């Protein structure tokens, strides 16, 4: 009980945070999950700063000083203090959360909790990133900063001149050892590239000592914790999948090699992923969204007049796949028209992002 008393005395002051799109106010029982460093804990701190002191109890199970908290002790303490808001951060699901008026459970993984509304917090999308900019700049300048710095809040709030240093610190917090770091680095360097998991294992095994079981265990954990996504091929079974890490800027911090097209594809995919769209890839298009009958091609720059020519060539492939819309993501001015019943458009990324 003494430990719970110490935790109960913690007061949360108002933070100078930029508002995130996800809200914790609408539901009484919330399972807040998402990738490490996506801002889950700070979202909770901001919520608690608006609650009356003495009405809440916050417990962070990643704190090494916290041990021996049982459900029975917790329920007794909650009743004694008349606590109306309970937050279990980095919860290990070793027991069922007590029945409190407002309960927020925070985890890196999706877990089923009966009666809880699951909400996923991702790193910043483009619109949120613009709010993190210290002063108003144009959408294009914000986009340039976004592509360089990435979407992790921890990196975005710092000075741009030191973003690489902050990013390296962040990367160390995502993995538990050198083996995991090497796997994450390998995946990041292959962003928006088709790979097979078996091929990845063979490639990595040539560089480090690792068993197949350990390799697949790490991949599964990365996927469960939203750190890595593997994109399947549309309409055809294939061992090859496109790989994306949760932040597109990771590759740039780990390598001097430049590939802006793949970085932009990663940015677009992650915008769709954060909207919970079901996305695939195909031989003809970078990304396919079946429920919207839409194909996306990443085409940052083309000489004047070439965008429309490229779109017309893609119409045949779209009709074959049963798609009714083709979108070229560019850095050029937008336009649209219809060809053979297929809506064709070219839009700059910032306009695409605003549609979310």
What pLDDT, in 10s, does the model give residues 240-299? Answer: 999 999 999 999 999 998 899 999 999 999 999 999 899 999 999 999 999 999 999 999
Average pLDDT of the residues in 210-224: 96
Evaluate whether the domain defined by 124-260 bears CATH number 3.30.565.10. Answer: no
Note the pLDDT of residue 150.
94
Residue 136 has pLDDT above 70, yes or no: no
The tokens describing 64, both together, are 């090494």
Domain extents in the chain: 2-120, 124-260, 282-356
Note the pLDDT of residue 131.
83
Give the global pTM: 0.90
List for the chain the helix, strand, coil content (%; round to 5): 40, 20, 40
- Rounded to whole angstroms, what are the CA distances from 4 to 41, 65, 78, 157, 237? 19, 12, 10, 33, 53
Contact 116, 24 (CB under 8 A): no
Torsion region of 332: left, alpha or beta (phi above 0 gives left; psi -120 to 50 gives alpha): beta
Contact 124, 143 (CB under 8 A): no
Residue 58 has pLDDT above 70, yes or no: yes
- Residue 88, number of CB atoms within 10 A of its CB: 24
Residue 86 has pLDDT above 80, yes or no: yes
Average pLDDT of the residues in 99-109: 95
Q: Where are the alpha helices (DSSP H) in 124-274?
A: 126-132, 139-149, 153-156, 163-174, 178-189, 197-205, 212-224, 250-254, 260-274
Compute the mean pLDDT over every residue in the chain, rounded to the nearest whole number: 92
pLDDT one-digit tens code per residue, 313-335? 899 999 999 999 999 999 988 88
Cα 356 to Cα 354: distance, rounded to the nearest angstrom: 5
């Amino acid at each position: 009980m003494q430990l719970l008393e110490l935790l109960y005395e913690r007061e949360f002051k108002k933070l100078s945070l930029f508002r995130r799109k996800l809200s914790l106010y609408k539901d009484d029982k919330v399972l807040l999950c998402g990738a490490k460093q996506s801002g889950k804990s700070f979202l909770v701190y901001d919520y608690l700063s608006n609650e009356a002191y003495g009405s809440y109890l916050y417990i962070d199970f990643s704190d090494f000083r916290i041990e021996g908290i049982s459900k029975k002790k917790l329920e007794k303490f909650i009743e004694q203090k008349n606590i109306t808001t309970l937050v279990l951060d980095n919860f290990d699901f070793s027991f069922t959360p007590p029945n409190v008026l407002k309960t927020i459970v925070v985890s890196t993984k999706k877990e089923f909790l009966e009666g809880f509304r699951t909400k996923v917090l991702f790193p910043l999308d483009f619109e949120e990133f613009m709010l993190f900019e210290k002063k108003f700049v144009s959408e294009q300048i914000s986009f340039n900063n976004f592509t360089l710095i990435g979407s992790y809040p921890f990196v975005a709030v710092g000075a741009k001149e030191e973003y690489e240093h902050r990013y390296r610190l962040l990367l160390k917090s995502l993995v538990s050892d050198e083996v995991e770091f090497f796997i994450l680095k390998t995946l990041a360097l292959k962003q928006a590239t088709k790979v097979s998991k078996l091929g990845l294992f063979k490639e990595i095994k040539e560089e480090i000592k690792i068993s197949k079981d350990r390799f697949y265990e790490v991949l599964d954990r990365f996927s469960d914790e939203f750190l890595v996504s593997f994109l399947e091929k549309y309409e055809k079974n294939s061992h090859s999948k496109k790989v994306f890490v949760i932040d597109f800027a990771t590759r740039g911090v780990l390598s001097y090699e430049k590939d802006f097209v793949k970085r932009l594809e990663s940015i677009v995919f992650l915008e769709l992923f954060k909207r919970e769209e079901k996305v695939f890839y195909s031989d003809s298009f970078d990304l396919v969204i079946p429920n919207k009958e839409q194909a996306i091609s990443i085409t940052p720059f083309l000489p004047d007049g070439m965008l429309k020519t490229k779109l017309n060539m893609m119409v045949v492939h779209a009709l074959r796949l049963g798609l009714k819309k083709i979108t070229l993501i560019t850095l050029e001015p937008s336009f649209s028209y219809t060809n053979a019943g297929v809506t064709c458009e070219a839009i700059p990324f910032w306009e695409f992002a605003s549609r979310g």
